[in-house]
Structure 1
């Protein structure tokens, strides 16, 4: 079991390119049961469909309760929900020099059980994790009840086997 450890983001980031805005960033971490489904490109979509098939029934002890509208690109567990979205666009923070230099207190890189993640503290105090070094970007957003990066360890441990199985290592498309 590997817990979060700081790593230089440069090891995780794909080659520098203009930062892209997150499309459809309607992911919610409150009691809302709706989540904007990503629109992955043709190379990414099959990977996300494979991930959907191998996701666990429980994450952090919470039963699976997928948000609406139903999509093979989204999943959820618990209420308020832990939300997963597959096929998102590359987060701008992945190419932010401040993050790469460890100078952004709200974004760090780390790994859990063979999956590398960019961890971002959001303005509302919740946390968002995005896979790095995989052929598709998978985003996991935690609700406020899981308010700190240490609270995320079990969530990421529970998701790691599915991510490793369905999303091969490599460089993801910038579009998602």
Structure 2
């Protein structure tokens, strides 16, 4: 192979190489059933492409129940189980009409409760949780009816 051909091939492939640098973010998807699965699919269609200044990125495996913004700086999973550390009498803050349980053992983890499905949001320390949760309130309220 000539040096000229090798350079041309390298230049032609550069965009493909760069496109693969970030890759999809690995997140284990939940497996909601019934009405929770339908509500979570509806939520997935309403989630913003940009959240707290971060663009939404692809996840692997692909799932309608998972959304990630900014290479896993913010990750959302819809249809997760009820938080095991949450008591029946737990007092939780409400942000723009959505109640959020914050697990004391995992301060970056917030779970929307009292809806058709539980929605878990992990927020890196680079972001103010309240700002992120405010942005997520409208799509959650629109897609997930309140229960109980």
Is TM-score (shorter-chain normalized) higher than 0.5?
yes
Match of 1:165 in 2: 142
Aligned residues: 125
More helix by share: 2
- 1:128 is aligned to 109
For residues 37 and 43 of structure 1, the distance between their equivalents in structure 2, rounded to whole angstroms, comes to 17
The residue that corresponds to 2:119 in the other structure is 138
Deviation at 1:122, TM superposition (A): 4.0
Q: Distance in 2 between matches of 1:66 and 1:81?
A: 13
- Is 1:85 the counterpart of 2:68? The answer is no
- Name the CA distance, whole Å, in 2 between partners of 1:69 and 1:91: 23
TM-score normalised to structure 2 length: 0.77
Q: Which has the higher strand share?
A: 2
What whole-Å deviation, never above 9, does each CA across 1:23-72 have from its counterpart, x for those lacking one?
xxxxxxxxx92111000012211000000000011111111113211100
The runs of 4+ residues in structure 1 deviating greater than 3 Å are none
Answer yes or no: is the 8 Å Cα contact 2:25–2:57 preserved in 1.
no
The answer to which structure, 1 or 2, has the higher relative contact order (CA under 8 A, 6+ apart) is 1
Give distance in 2, aligned partners of 1:110 and 1:121.
Answer: 13
Residue aligned with 1:45, SS: helix
The CA distance in 2 between the partners of 1:157 and 1:39, in whole Å, is 26
Instruction: Give me the TM-score of the superposition, normalised by structure 1.
Output: 0.65
Which position in structure 1 is the counterpart of 2:92? 109
1:131 counterpart SS class? strand
Does the CA contact (< 8 Å) of 1:121 and 1:127 recur in 2?
Answer: no
- How far residue 121 of structure 1 moved from its aligned partner, in angstroms, is 4.0
- Aligned partners of 1:66 and 1:74 also within 8 Å: no
Deviation per CA, 1:58-100: give whole Å up to 9, x if none. Answer: 1111111132111000001113420000000101122266xx3
Which has the larger Rg?
A: 2
- 1:96 and 1:114 map into 2 onto residues whose CA distance is 20
Q: Which runs of 5+ in 1 are unaligned?
A: 1-31, 101-107, 172-176
Q: Match for residue 103 of structure 1?
A: none
- SS of the residue corresponding to residue 153 of structure 1 reads helix
